[in-house]
Chain A
Amino acid sequence: MQAIQDKEGVKRYLITLYVNGDSYTRVVKANTLLVNVLRDELDLTGTKKGCELGDCGSCTVLLDGKPVNSCLVLAVEADGHEILTIEGLGENEKLDPLQEAFIANAALQCGYCTSGMIMSAKALLNSNPNPTEQEVREAIAGNLCRCTGYVNIVKAILSCAQQPEGGSE
């Protein structure tokens, strides 16, 4: 990673992130958080900040396919890695089935936790296409929601589980 020093002696690092299939090169400080690069530098404000302590899960994105709190990842750590945010789901104007399921099951109210919640669910379904209800609840245990009591969120994620073989869809 290339580093340059500014006039005050603070080092800056040249990083390249592969976000939603596009590559972005930026200069960041050592303590710059991934979530702030996404939101402030790349205008990907779909990723939310709820606590900046890694407690609430609102800023969940997928880093090389794994869900992470992007407020706990330094931008320099993400250098060269693939990142998927809520904006990268679905194709063109068509929403991802998970996004459709959240709408159809009323799995969102204020919507602030929704992006992070959907990303955690996406990671689960990628690795486990047929989760049980308990597995769904565990997968989103790091994503807080104050509005829904999680009832409809669990329902929405389960509705996207791959049907058992011979199922109708």
Chain B
Amino acid sequence: MAAYNIVGKGVPRVDGPDKASGKAIYTVDVSLPGMLYGKILRSPYAHARIISIDTSMAEKLPGVKGIVTGRDLRDVRYAFVDTPHYPADEQPLAVDKVRYIGDEVAAVAAESEAVAEKALALIKVEYEIIPAVFSAIEAMRDDAPLVHDEQLEGTSAWEEWGVTKRKNITASSYAANNVSGRTFVQYGDVDAGFEEADHIREDTFELKATAHCPMEPHAVVASYDAVQDKLHVWLSTMGIFLKRFFLSKTLNIPASKIRVHHTYVGGAFGGKIDLFPYEFCAAYLTIKTGQPVKIELDREEVFMTTRQRHPMNITVRTGIKKDGIITAQDIKVIADNGAYRGSGPVVIFLCHGFSFPVYNVPNYRYEGFSVYTNNPIRGPQRGHGAPQIRFSIDSHIDLIARDLGMDPLEIMLKNARKQGDVIPNGDVLNSCGLTECIKGAAAAIDWKNKRRQFQASPASTGRFRRGVGISICSMFSGAMYYPFASAAIIKMHDDGSATLFTGAQDIGQGSYTTLSQVLAEELGIGMEDVHVVAGDTELCPIDLGSFLSGTALVTGSAVKLAAADAKRQIMESAAELLGVDNIGELDAFNKKVFQRQSPDNYVTYQQAIQASVLRKGGNPIIGTGSYKGYEKTDRYPSLSKGKGLFTGAYGFAAQTAEVEVDTWTGKVKLLRACTFHDCGYPLNETIVRGQIHGCSSMGQGQALSEEIYLEEGQLFNASFLEYRLPISTDTPELVDGIVISQEPSGPFGAKEVGEGSVAGMLAAVANAVHDAVGVRIKSMPITPEKVLRALNNPT
């Protein structure tokens, strides 16, 4: 491996001083002169027709400046998934009916939050309550009420990007039985594979909805400049260009007339990518009133009306040989996407996408359904499908290992995919350190000595019993989704330092720091010489956005190419000054260009840039670079058939957990969690470890305590007191191992690290509980009630 000066080092975050001093500006901190405050009126019913809306009383309230209802927006539709097959089904405000408790009905802008709230109370809405459905399995029955009975035309927001228009899709062809999406993938000969097996096992698992819990609540400030005809927007998001695209489509104004300004993002975890009604309404109301409008959601609204992780029922059936080689697998997934499609068809596609890169299964069938219900809307959440599918598959593998009397580690190692494997959709695993991850995580938890130790020892009758478990997982590094690519611009300054212009958004994952390191390393300057301008659609070139874990690989590659471009121009100018004909004889480092043979013959970047300005037509040296979401394809994959290339590189991880179960109370304490993540190459070691800690902590919460409680669509625990994410005193020792596999397409070998290792925690904990007390919990989270019930009724 090449020795680097800046990448790979744990250099301090460039946003550290801003954030530690309290000076960092988030969307909630933005305040403009004459700003109005917006509030949203929401449905108190899970499913109801809107008979009438009367806003006349609210309009008369002093201080109210603007009101909008669904009747003003009858034709506005949008969605995270918007394809000919899956036409957009969301509207900013409900028109004919409301579909979940919290569904947006009207929005008010007023002089103060208090007046806006008073106005909401004065809006009279007459509803006719209709039957509702709250579970995906019930919703699929023939007699279930239809959540979406409207006829939608099969158009797509991506038509101008070459997606074919397909009209006349009738409602029955896609929304029958409330099915909002289906993915079906099959390869090999599944029946023959099961026949070949010595042992066949089937298990069904259940996962509840969970919340993202970014510490910054969702917020927006929108300000329309009528003179310039420009809409200025500040919002808490993971992808500024995607938000601009959505706003442009829904407001029907050109993208170039909208500017998303930079703010820091106080956590996102997947929950700040969709366009939300409050964002549209703020934009609509600023255009209507001519005054800036700010809308901040309160914590209850964030829990209820932004997005949640999909609850799922997953059945896995596996055929396996006596020696532990998998011969066939059949997976069925049912995901409840709530009242609107959200990312339903994506998550059922991704459950396949995060299943098949892990084990080499020769005969495989996968079927996933996403289903409408009258529950809150579900969307992407860190790992997006990976926690659900990895929990199910690896709990199941652990059970198979028990059936066969084998160590699950052995089954994992025997079936794990390896570097060079071509997986069935055609993606090539050019880097895959999965085996090293498994071995590392197992050694770190002392697998050999700790597994089954407590059942075998006299301590097995004691109150507290310990056990260990393991799970493995995989995650994409970017994919083809709008805007399909990232670009970077590097502007050189007179003094030889550089400013990076990137559309990437630092949502806490440290992208401004790692991208600066890539720039500094490639260009041969120091970190102190890099300045970052980011997250602004006007100043920065397009960026894929900080989701799909593509920032390191995709945006990182664009930045590296831009730095190489700037460096080449500096060298060309320097070559003239040095009297060298071939720039191949030159090298550049530490803001100097020198002759490789005689390093004393050098010019500084400052001199080279000045020479370029004076002699090359005034060129001050601007480097540019761009990189696609996936360099080998110009198509996005088929969500329904799983065909096409998915991602340029898969990140891998293995996670082990040691738990202590209190057999009197059923409480599970996580003692230690070890994660070994194959991130290709750690651009910043400290940041990579920080991502692993964050993923592990989120996985811990989802395994042991986090669950959205819904009763007939009503959320009962919309606060941090009742929705329990890990706090400092219940976080165990987190061991963070980095596996280097050098991804050839990644900048300096880097790929995904920010999402994958949420996923392995769930089965690692469930398997550890089984190891400790001999009971299997097949539903997430593993609450004391479930453990006690299982201990009292051993199967």
Contact = CB atoms under 8 A, between A and B. Distances in A.
A87 B23 CA distance: 8
Interface in B186-237: 212-217
Given A55-B721, A95-B20, A110-B214, A153 B728 contact: yes
A39 to B, nearest CB: 8
B267 interface: yes
Contact of A151 (B13, B22, B509, B734): B734
Given A146-B698, A148-B697, A110 B215 contact: yes
A69 to B, nearest CB: 12
B372 interface: no
Contact of B267 (A100, A104, A110, A142): A110
Interface string B668-695: 0000000000000000001101100110
Contact of A112 (B26, B269, B510): B26
Interface string B583-616: 0000000000000000000000000000000000
Interface string A20-44: 0000000000000000000110001
Nearest to B265: A110
A91 B430 CA distance: 52
B508 interface: yes
A115 B267 CA distance: 15
A144 B266 contact: no
A149 to B, nearest CB: 3
A150 B728 contact: yes
Contacts of A90: 21
Contacts of A46: 21-23
Nearest to A120: B728
Interface residues of B, number: 55
A51 interface: yes
A45 interface: yes
Interface string B481-523: 0000000000000000000000000011110000000000000
B472 interface: no
A149 B726 contact: yes
Contacts of A151: 693, 731, 734
A113 interface: yes
A115 B686 CA distance: 21
A70 interface: no
Interface string B340-377: 00000000000000000000000000000000000000
A86 interface: yes
Interface in B695-728: 696-698, 719-721, 725-728
B25 interface: yes
A51, A118, A147: residue with the most chain B Cβ atoms closer than 10 Å:
A147
A137 B729 contact: yes
A107 to B, nearest CB: 8
B24 interface: yes
A144 B215 contact: yes
Size band of the A side of the interface?
35 or more
Contacts of A103: 12-13, 16-17, 20
Contacts of B29: 39, 45
B165 interface: no
Contacts of A136: 728
Contact of B17 (A56, A58, A95): A95
A99 B18 CA distance: 10
B652 interface: no
A111 B731 contact: no
B21 A106 contact: no
Nearest to A85: B22
B514 to A, nearest CB: 12
Contacts of B10: 106
B476 interface: no
A140 interface: yes
Nearest to A49: B28
A149 B698 CA distance: 8
B510 A109 contact: yes
B317 interface: no
A152 B28 contact: no
B249 to A, nearest CB: 28
Contacts of A102: 16, 20
Contacts of A48: 26, 28, 215-216, 266
Interface string A45-68: 111111111011010000000000
B265 A108 contact: no
A91 B418 CA distance: 55
Nearest to B507: A110
A149 B731 contact: yes
A44 B22 CA distance: 9
B22 A87 contact: yes
A3 interface: no
Contacts of B696: 149
Nearest to B685: A106
Contact of A106 (B690, B720, B728, B734): B690
A110 B690 contact: no
A69 B16 CA distance: 24
B510 A111 contact: no
Given A113-B215, A146-B215, A108 B21 contact: no
B266 A112 contact: yes
A138 interface: yes
A115 B17 CA distance: 12
B719 A55 contact: yes
Given A114-B20, A140-B728, A51 B299 contact: yes
Nearest to A44: B22
Contacts of A137: 728-729, 731
B15 interface: yes
B581 interface: no
Given A53-B719, A144-B727, A151-B734, A106 B13 contact: yes
Contact of B216 (A100, A108, A112): A112
A68 B213 CA distance: 22
B12 A141 contact: no
A106 B215 contact: no
A17 interface: no
Contacts of A148: 690, 693-694, 697
A158 interface: no
Contacts of A95: 17, 20-21
A148 B734 CA distance: 11
A145 B22 contact: no
Interface in A76-111: 85-87, 89-90, 95, 99-100, 102-104, 106, 108-111
A59 to B, nearest CB: 11
A21 B87 CA distance: 58
Q: In the complex, which of the residues B22, B265, B687 has the most CB atoms of chain A within 10 Å of its own CB atom?
A: B22
B71 interface: no
Interface string B236-258: 00000000000000000000000
A118 B20 contact: yes
Given A146-B694, A146-B698, A149-B697, A104 B12 contact: yes
Contact of A53 (B216, B266, B720): B720
A50 B299 contact: yes
Contacts of B28: 48-49
Name the residue in A90, A95, A108 with the highest tally of chain B Cβ atoms < 10 Å from its Cβ. Answer: A108
A19 interface: no
B143 interface: no
Contacts of A149: 693-694, 696-697, 726, 731, 734
Given A50-B720, A144-B720, A149-B694, 20 more contacts: A45-B29, A51-B720, A53-B720, A86-B22, A102-B16, A103-B16, A106-B13, A106-B686, A110-B214, A110-B265, A110-B266, A111-B15, A111-B18, A111-B24, A112-B216, A136-B728, A138-B729, A143-B728, A146-B694, A148-B697
24 contacts: A46-B23, A48-B28, A58-B215, A85-B22, A89-B21, A95-B17, A103-B16, A106-B16, A109-B267, A110-B267, A110-B507, A111-B20, A112-B26, A114-B20, A118-B20, A142-B727, A144-B725, A145-B215, A146-B214, A147-B267, A148-B690, A148-B694, A149-B726, A150-B731
Can you list the 7 inter-chain pairs with the closest CB atoms, starting with the nearest? A46-B22, A110-B508, A112-B266, A111-B19, A149-B697, A86-B22, A103-B16
